[in-house]
Amino acid sequence: MRPFDDTPLSRDGKVLILAYDHGLEHGPVDFEDVPETMDPETVWDVATHDAVTGFAVQKGVAEAYADQYDDVNLLLKLNGTSNLWMGEPDSAVNCSVDYAAELGASSVGFTLYGGSNNEIEMAEEFRDAQETAREHDLPVVMWSYPRGQGLKNDTSPGTIAYAARQALELGADVAKVKYPGSKEAMEHAVEAAGPTKVVMSGGSKTSDEDFLTTVSDAIDAGAVGLAVGRNVFQRENPREMLDALEAVIFEEASVEDALDY
């Protein structure tokens, strides 16, 4: 396996994943703020921004557009579930690693719901994906999201540190975790992840300043970057937000300076 920093998912050791799997995970409601984002092409265009090291989509969106966008680093999300599913958290494996590689993916993503009654099965599916990704030399990003009937608070510091550790133990290169509420708690999660890189998960849309401040705190805490969807594509000018994120993540600019970009 080549060093992580030599893969397209890394730019100078940092990571910025633009996620656009919301049409499956949440449904078209996520595109209402900016109706043009219903058209995948609009967001593929945004993903050509230099700051984006991985564009996370499901198989169908990749099949339809990937060959028109050679300049986009494709991160194929291997599993996913619709919001229509009302059972215990679970995620269907929708794409094999072999097919992701055929579609031109330069990394793959996989959701694990630690704590769900389906965790055992999901971890076994992850084993298969992770080992096949190693054969293809593709970095693996784990959407490490503890949730399920046993979990009272899915963003508590202890839970997020466990999520980060679970990603390391199961062989992910990158753990995508929710922000645990403070810089100290994020530091603890980064420590728990050891050699596995940690990226913060974006979450629902907030103000420019609040969002960039949280991202900046996560970077200060040792996270290597961000995986973001709504806080970019639900803005009227998503490229402006990517410019600011580029400054905060890759240039470690202050939030104040980044807001001027």
In the complex with ligand FBP, the residue whose CB is nearer, 110 or 143, is: 143
Closest chain position to ligand FBP (CB): 202
Is residue 117 within 8 Å of 88, Cβ to Cβ? yes
The question of whether 176 is a catalytic residue gets the answer yes
- What count of other Cβ atoms lies within 10 Å of the Cβ of residue 31? 22
Q: Closest distance between ligand FBP and the C-beta of residue 3, in Å?
A: 26
Q: Closest distance between ligand FBP and the C-beta of residue 75, in Å?
A: 10
State the residues that interact with ligand FBP by CB under 6 A.
Answer: 19, 21-22, 25, 56, 143, 201-203, 227-231
As given in the structure block, the two tokens for residue 85 are 């599913």
Among 10, 2, 6, 4, which Cα is nearest to 225's? 10
As given in the structure block, the two tokens for residue 164 are 């980060």
Q: How far is Cα of residue 238 from the mean position of the Cα atoms in its chain?
A: 17
Q: Closest distance between ligand FBP and the C-beta of residue 259, in Å?
A: 19
State the catalytic residue, choosing from 14, 59, 77, 176.
176
DSSP state of 256: H
- What are the residues whose beta carbons fall under 8 Å from the beta carbon of 67, sequence distance 6 or more? 104
In the complex with ligand FBP, the residue whose CB is nearer, 22 or 197, is: 22
In the complex with ligand FBP, the residue whose CB is nearer, 137 or 210, is: 210
The residues assigned a catalytic role are 176
